[in-house]
């Protein structure tokens, strides 16, 4: 019995220590953002890898999410003779929830996993040690630019997801199912308020932070083997998905 | 002068270094040999504080680097160049940019001067005109030479070599050893080599130290070391399975 309690205690201590290390890692990455040199070129490079390189997958998932919303929304609303509310339902759903969450999932799969794998393999091949030995702090060089790039890219990608999603639903609702274009956009205009856009923006910024933070941390702490890099990559993706959903719930409950 | 004093290091409760004492003379090449897993690379990584000891100290120019703050440690690290086992070139850069990297990061040299210095170092290690290639496009030997060019480019006082010839054929291994000796003659750095390449590495070593059971079992000038009567040294140099060193 005592050994079971000890086992639970050890495991819990390890988890708490792990969480503490993750937060210290984040603090350190933020602190380095305010110390010279400012690595503008690296930040722009990572905005490209996180933002531009994820664009196609975000566009594709955005348009199909919108189309499904249009289809489902239309048939659900028709039961109450409320098809004219389709635009409002789609816009609110996308701006407040689906846009930030689904685009964050896409970026995690497309770029976050690559981030963890790249940093993990840099650790295994001693490239991180090489940075230390050249008196360059790897957190400042590898993590801080990715963190800033994540904060900048994610809201932009989410905005693109929202717009193509709204047009995807328009295509199905107005183009195929006959909802009037005026009621689609008119309903949207009357029901969407600034707070809806703001809450989506805040969520996307925090998701950008979660993705860069978790994926860099997991890569940085990857075990020293090829399987270790794979394991770190998988863990980073799973943890991002879970944290995004949990954080989404808390943010939603605060902002509603 | 680097002085290692009573260095202890354990990983997950397993003691790797159990009180290492070693003096590395200025301007000389000292080679550290020892069995696989004896802690040679661990010892090497302590010399520029890539690893920190559980206890003991490492004195570089009489300063204990285990007690330095971040800024002082970074200043101290600029005295060192390191050639890692796999060269550790940054994948995201060309060979030219890898060699230029320490200059761009740590000096105020202009791009023209950096270009000149990098091309000079690449030529010295036999990589003239290869700077545009990515590390993934070149052979293991070329990577090591590029790593050596990067280690040399800031003209450090001390260079650490972690298994510089591992994974290379004997001819390439010899060419890397010749290159280290030639660069040592040109720049006069203090060299520390960790190697399994016995006896070839003795050709370029001024002194040899043997690490066994977590301590320095023998150290001395190369000729003296090779002639040592220490049973551990004899067993290791002759490759005997029987003797004071546990093989398996």
- Structural domains counted in chain A: 1
Does A213 map to a domain? yes
Does A32 map to a domain? no
Strands B29-33 and B207-212: parallel
In whole angstroms, what is the distance from residue A238 CA to residue A244 CA? 10
The pLDDT tens digits for B173-195 are 888 899 899 889 988 999 999 99
Does A28 map to a domain? no
- Nearest CA to B220 out of B73, B59, B22 is that of B22
Find the radius of gyration of the CA atoms of chain B: 18
Q: Please provide the distance, in angstroms rounded to a whole number, between the alpha carbons at the two ends of chain A.
A: 46
CB atoms B88 and A125 under 8 Å: yes
Helix (H, G, I), strand (E, B), or coil: what is residue A236?
helix
CB atoms B77 and A129 under 8 Å: no
Percent of chain A's residues with pLDDT above 70: 100
By Cβ distance, the residue of B74, B89, B91 closest to A135 is B74
Is B247 a residue whose pLDDT tops 80? no
User: Which chain A residues are closer than 8 Å to B82 by Cβ?
Assistant: 129-130, 133
Strands B55-60 and B215-221: unpaired
Does A134 map to a domain? yes
In whole angstroms, what is the distance from residue A131 CA to residue A86 CA? 54
Whether A135 and chain B come into contact, CB under 8 Å, resolves to: yes
Chain pair A-B, CB pairs under 8 angstroms = 46
Does A167 map to a domain? yes
Q: Quick one: pLDDT at residue B141?
A: 87
By Cβ distance, the residue of B74, B75, B82 closest to A130 is B82
The pLDDT tens digits for B205-217 are 999 999 999 999 9
Quote the distance between the C-alpha of residue B236 and its chain's center.
Answer: 21
Q: Quick one: pLDDT at residue A1?
A: 74
User: Which chain A residues are closer than 8 Å to B84 by Cβ?
Assistant: 126, 129-130
Q: Is the dihedral of CA B100, B147, B45, B223 positive or negative?
A: negative
- Nearest CA to B100 out of B124, B125, B120 is that of B120
Chain B: closest CA distance from residue A140 (Å): 12
CB atoms B80 and A133 under 8 Å: yes
Identify residues of B whose CB sits under 8 angstroms from chain A CBs: 45, 48, 50, 73-75, 77-78, 80, 82, 84-86, 88-91, 101-102, 105-106
When mean pLDDT is compared across A218-227, B78-87, B157-166, B167-176, the lowest value belongs to B167-176
Domains of chain B: 2-79+156-238 (3.40.50.300), 90-154 (no CATH)
In whole angstroms, what is the distance from residue B213 CA to residue B200 CA? 24
Taking CA atoms, what residue in B is nearest to A45? Answer: B92
Taking CA atoms, what residue in B is nearest to A133? Answer: B77
As a whole number, mean pLDDT of residues B158-162 equals: 95
Percent of chain B's residues with pLDDT above 90: 70
When mean pLDDT is compared across A35-39, B45-49, B73-77, the lowest value belongs to A35-39
**Cα dist from A185 to A188, A190, B97, B175, whole Å:** 5, 9, 53, 73
Does A237 map to a domain? yes
CB atoms B88 and A132 under 8 Å: no
Does A114 map to a domain? yes
Q: Quick one: pLDDT at residue A154?
A: 96
Taking CA atoms, what residue in B is nearest to A37? Answer: B105
β-bridge mates for residue B191, sequence order:
B29, B159
**Two tokens, residue A152:** 């900048």
Does A14 map to a domain? no
The pLDDT tens digits for B212-231 are 999 999 999 999 999 999 99
CB atoms A132 and B50 under 8 Å: yes
Q: Quick one: pLDDT at residue A108?
A: 96
Q: Quick one: pLDDT at residue B248?
A: 62
Is B171 a residue whose pLDDT tops 90? no
Packing angle, helices A194-220 and A2-33, rounded to 10: 110
CB atoms A127 and B88 under 8 Å: yes
The pLDDT tens digits for A183-214 are 999 989 999 999 999 999 999 999 999 999 99
Q: Quick one: pLDDT at residue A38?
A: 84
User: Which chain B residues are closer than 8 Å to A132 by Cβ?
Assistant: 50, 77
Is B137 a residue whose pLDDT tops 90? yes
Whether A132 and chain B come into contact, CB under 8 Å, resolves to: yes
Low-confidence ranges of chain A (pLDDT < 50): none
Range of the domain at A116: 40-255
Whether A195 and chain B come into contact, CB under 8 Å, resolves to: no
- One DSSP character per residue, B142-202 reads HHHHHHHHHHHTT--SEEEEESTTTTS-HHHHHHHHHHHHHHHHHH--EEEEE---TTGGG
**Cα dist from A201 to A57, A95, A205, whole Å:** 20, 8, 6
């Amino acid at each position: 019995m005592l050994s079971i309690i000890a086992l639970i205690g050890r495991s819990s201590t390890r988890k708490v220590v792990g969480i503490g290390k993750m937060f210290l890692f984040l603090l350190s990455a933020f602190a380095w953002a305010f110390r010279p040199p400012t690595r503008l070129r690296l930040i722009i490079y990572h905005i490209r890898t996180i933002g531009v390189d994820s664009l196609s997958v975000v566009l594709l998932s955005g348009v199909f999410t919108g189309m499904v919303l249009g289809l489902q929304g239309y048939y659900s609303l028709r039961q109450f003779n409320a098809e004219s509310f389709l635009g409002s339902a789609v816009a609110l759903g996308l701006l407040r929830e689906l846009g930030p969450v689904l685009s964050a999932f896409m970026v995690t799969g497309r770029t976050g996993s690559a981030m963890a794998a790249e940093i993990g393999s840099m650790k295994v091949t001693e490239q991180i040690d090489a940075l230390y030995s050249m008196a360059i702090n790897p957190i400042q060089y590898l993590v801080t630019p990715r963190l800033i790039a994540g904060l900048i890219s994610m809201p932009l990608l989410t905005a693109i997801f929202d717009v193509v999603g709204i047009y995807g639903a328009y295509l199905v609702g107005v183009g195929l199912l006959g909802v009037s274009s005026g009621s689609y956009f008119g309903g949207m205009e009357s029901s969407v308020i600034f707070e809806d856009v703001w809450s989506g923006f805040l969520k996307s910024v925090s998701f950008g932070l979660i993705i860069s933070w978790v994926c860099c941390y997991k890569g940085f702490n990857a075990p020293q083997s090829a399987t270790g890099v794979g394991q770190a990559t998988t863990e980073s993706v799973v943890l991002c998905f879970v944290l995004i959903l949990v954080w989404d719930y808390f943010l939603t409950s605060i902002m509603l | 002068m680097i002085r290692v004093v009573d260095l202890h290091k354990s990983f997950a409760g397993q003691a790797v270094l159990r009180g290492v004492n070693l003096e590395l003379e200025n301007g000389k090449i000292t080679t550290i040999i020892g069995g696989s897993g004896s802690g040679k690379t661990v010892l090497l990584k302590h010399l520029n504080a890539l690893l920190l000891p559980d206890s003991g100290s490492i004195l570089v120019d009489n300063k204990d680097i285990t007690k330095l703050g971040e800024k002082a440690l970074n200043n101290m690290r600029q005295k060192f160049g390191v050639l890692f086992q796999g060269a550790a070139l940054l994948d995201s850069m060309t060979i030219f940019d890898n060699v230029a990297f320490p200059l761009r990061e740590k000096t105020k040299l202009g791009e023209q001067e950096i270009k000149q210095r990098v091309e000079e170092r690449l030529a010295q290690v036999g990589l003239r005109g290869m700077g545009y290639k990515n590390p993934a496009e070149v052979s293991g030997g070329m990577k090591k030479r590029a790593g050596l060019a990067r280690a040399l480019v800031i003209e450090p006082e001390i260079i650490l070599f972690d298994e510089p010839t591992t994974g290379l054929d004997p001819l390439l291994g010899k060419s890397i050893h010749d290159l280290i000796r030639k660069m040592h003659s040109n720049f006069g750095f203090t060299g520390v080599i960790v190697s399994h390449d016995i006896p070839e590495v003795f050709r370029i070593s001024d002194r040899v130290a043997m690490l066994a059971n977590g301590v320095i079992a023998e150290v001395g000038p190369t000729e003296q070391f090779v002639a040592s009567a220490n049973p551990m040294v004899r067993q290791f140099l002759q490759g005997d399975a029987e003797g004071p060193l546990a093989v398996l």
